[in-house]
């Protein structure tokens, strides 16, 4: 529609809150002038024109109230009425019947103004509605454009309804161009990208109606830059609950991923750098212990044994720190295998019994229980729980370990009669770097990483870890692992 069309077609002007006074006034005056010219100069009988002019005026009033609202309709009505007054007064009744003239005009006037009000009000209401909707859309648009994430909305045929600048930045220039052309669908847009399109969240949501939460993708953009994206999609329903469109959020996690990679590299390097000197220290100490043993110098042997013990503590700390670090980046790997957990418990106890002369670590073995887990990591959990039991029961003489089968699970328990744990601390002890403090303000050595590592290891085996404890009476720690039928 050209400019002239947009100016005179009232439908085109819906939503446009521009109500003119001059235009209706000029058109109406022009029609009056034309009518007068026609009456006197063309038909040369002014009396016959009056009837037709009523139709023309009603049409004009309707037109202008629809084009310029109540204001336009009132102007058209006023001009018409003045004209009628003039016609009736001068041509039909004459000066002697002024009252009748006014009455007739007023009756018509009431009708005209009523008509103009109704149509004008309707027009203005529609305008306000359209306008507020447009405002709403603009507001939403402003928000969407400013979001740090990419927002993509597509209808059920995959046609893109809306996409913000970030989508274009994230996916590259081609996407932007195809968006401007307005013909593109979600599938086409992502052609030549290393993404399986049927798996693309927005497509998945459109076809299944189910939301997709935070899936990770690596794509290569037009500029060959590799980007890591985290994409979610949610369906948009109509009133009847049918999926009509889907909205997708695209989050650039490249920086985060690169940071994680760097952290991982650092942990690996630190791991190597810290473990190497500890390894040679231990070898030197062992060599020295062998020599000292031959000299029978008891004092030197005792000192060296202490050095060895402290080196081992340092080694454990380093290894715990690295485990915590790996757990946080999700880089701790598990080599799961089938094994009998009762045998592992026996081996672990055998190794740990030597570290305490005060406690007897007892294991009541019943039937063999097979689990599918990472043997070394389960050994780590067992060692941690038993070492804790020793550490936190300084006055006790016994620690009891047991394993039982409970449906599809193997449940291991480690029971001590030590200091126990307050109810409000029982959940917190599995948090990272949390440590139990005794009311007697006795402190226990350690960094508080053991139970956190244990919890994470068990969690990654789809098992659970928990404690039952009474302050002052002792604690029992349990963990479960998925068990296998033999």
Partner 1 sequence: MSNKILVVDDDQSILEAISLILEEEEYIVQTTTKGEEVYTKLHTFKPDLILLDVLMSGKDGREICKKIKSDEKTKSIPIIMISAHPSAEKSIKECGAEDFLAKPFETKDLLQKISQFIS
Contacts with partner 1 by CB under 8 A lie at 268, 271-272, 275-284, 286-287, 290, 315, 333, 335, 376
- Toward partner 1, which CB reaches closer, 243 or 281? 281
Tell me how far apart the terminal alpha carbons of the chain are, to the nearest angstrom: 80
Question: What Rg, from alpha-carbon coordinates, does the chain have?
Answer: 44
- Specify the residue, 276 or 303, whose C-beta has the smaller distance to partner 1: 276
Q: Is 387 exposed, middle or buried (0-12, 13-18, 19+ CB in 10 A)?
A: middle
Q: Provide the minimum distance between the beta carbon of 299 and partner 1 in the complex, in angstroms, as a whole number.
A: 22
Please identify, using beta-carbon distances, which residue of 278 and 301 lies nearer to partner 1. Answer: 278
Check: CB of residue 212 under 8 Å from CB of residue 224: no
Q: Closer to partner 1 at the Cβ: 271 or 370?
A: 271
Q: How many CB atoms lie within 10 A of CB 209?
A: 14
Nearer to partner 1, 190 or 378 (CB): 378
Q: Are strands 150-155 and 243-252 parallel, antiparallel or unpaired?
A: antiparallel
330: left (phi over 0), alpha (psi -120 to 50) or beta: left
Angstrom distance (rounded) from CA 14 to CA 122: 11
Q: Which of 341, 334, 382, 335 is nearest to 484 (CA)?
A: 341
Q: DSSP for 228-246?
A: EEEEEEEEEE-TTS-EEEE
Of the two residues 57 and 348, which places its CB atom closer to partner 1 in the complex?
Answer: 348
Whichever of 90 and 279 has its CB closer to partner 1, that residue is: 279
Cβ atoms of 385 and 414 closer than 8 Å: yes
Q: Distance between CA atoms of 413 and 317, rounded to whole angstroms?
A: 25
Closest to partner 1 by CB, 279 or 408 = 279
Which are the contacts of 56, defined by CB distance < 8 A and separation ≥ 6?
A: 31, 35
Least CB distance to partner 1 at residue 271 (A): 5
Nearer to partner 1, 62 or 324 (CB): 324
Report which DSSP code applies to 151: E
CB of 290 or CB of 357, closer to partner 1: 290
H or E segment and range at residue 308: helix 298-329
CB of 283 to partner 1, least distance (A): 4
Q: Can you read off the two tokens belonging to residue 70?
A: 């109540």
250 to 148, 176, 210, 230, 405: CA distances (angstroms): 9, 15, 17, 6, 46
Q: Which is nearer to partner 1, 313 or 366 (CB)?
A: 313
Alpha helices in 147-192 (DSSP H): 165-171, 173-181, 186-189
β-strand partners of 412: 403, 479
Question: If we measure between CA atoms, which residue out of 187, 65, 193 comes closest to residue 118?
Answer: 65
């Amino acid at each position: 529609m050209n400019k002239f069309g947009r100016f005179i077609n009232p439908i085109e002007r819906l939503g446009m809150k521009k109500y003119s006074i001059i235009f209706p006034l000029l058109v109406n005056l022009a029609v009056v002038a034309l009518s007068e010219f026609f009456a006197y100069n063309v038909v040369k009988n002014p009396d016959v024109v009056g009837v037709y002019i009523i139709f023309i005026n009603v049409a004009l009033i309707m037109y202008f109230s629809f084009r310029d609202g109540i204001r336009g309709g009132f102007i058209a009505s006023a001009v018409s009425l003045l004209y009628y007054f003039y016609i009736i007064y001068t041509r039909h009744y004459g000066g002697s019947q002024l009252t009748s003239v006014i009455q007739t005009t007023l009756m018509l006037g009431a009708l005209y103004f009523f008509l103009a009000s109704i149509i004008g009000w309707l027009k203005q209401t529609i305008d306000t509605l359209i306008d507020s909707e447009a405002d709403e859309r603009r507001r939403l648009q402003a928000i969407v454009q400013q979001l740090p994430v990419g927002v993509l909305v597509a209808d059920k045929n995959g046609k893109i309804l809306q996409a913000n600048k970030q989508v274009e930045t994230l996916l590259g220039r081609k996407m932007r161009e195809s968006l401007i052309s307005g013909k593109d669908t979600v599938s086409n847009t992502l052609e030549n990208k290393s993404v399986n399109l049927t798996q693309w969240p927005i497509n998945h949501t459109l076809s299944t109606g189910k939301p997709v939460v935070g899936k990770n993708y690596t794509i290569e953009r037009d500029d060959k830059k590799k980007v890591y994206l985290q994409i979610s999609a949610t369906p948009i329903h109509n009133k009847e609950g049918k999926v009509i469109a889907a909205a997708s959020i695209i989050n650039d996690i490249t920086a985060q991923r690169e940071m994680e990679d760097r952290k991982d590299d650092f942990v690996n390097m630190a791991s190597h750098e810290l473990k190497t000197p500890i390894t040679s220290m231990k070898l030197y100490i062992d060599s020295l212990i062998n020599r000292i043993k031959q000299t029978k110098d008891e004092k030197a042997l005792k000192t060296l044994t202490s050095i060895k013990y402290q080196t081992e503590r340092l080694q454990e700390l380093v290894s715990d720190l690295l485990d915590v670090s790996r757990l946080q980046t999700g880089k701790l790997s598990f080599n799961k295998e089938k094994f009998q957990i009762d045998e592992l418990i026996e081996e672990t106890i055998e190794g740990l019994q030597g570290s305490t002369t005060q406690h007897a670590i007892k294991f009541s073995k019943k039937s063999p229980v097979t689990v599918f887990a990472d043997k070394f990591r389960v050994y780590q959990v067992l060692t941690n729980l038993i070492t804790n039991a020793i550490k936190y029961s300084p006055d006790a003489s016994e620690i009891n370990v047991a394993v039982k089968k409970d449906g599809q699970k193997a449940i291991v328990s480690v029971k001590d009669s030590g200091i126990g744990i307050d109810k409000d601390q029982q959940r917190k002890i599995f948090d990272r770097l949390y440590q139990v403090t005794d009311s007697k303000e006795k402190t226990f050595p350690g960094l508080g990483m053991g139970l956190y590592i244990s919890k994470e290891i068990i969690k990654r085996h789809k098992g659970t870890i928990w404690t039952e404890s009474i302050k002052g009476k002792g604690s029992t720690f349990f963990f479960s692992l998925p068990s296998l039928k033999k």
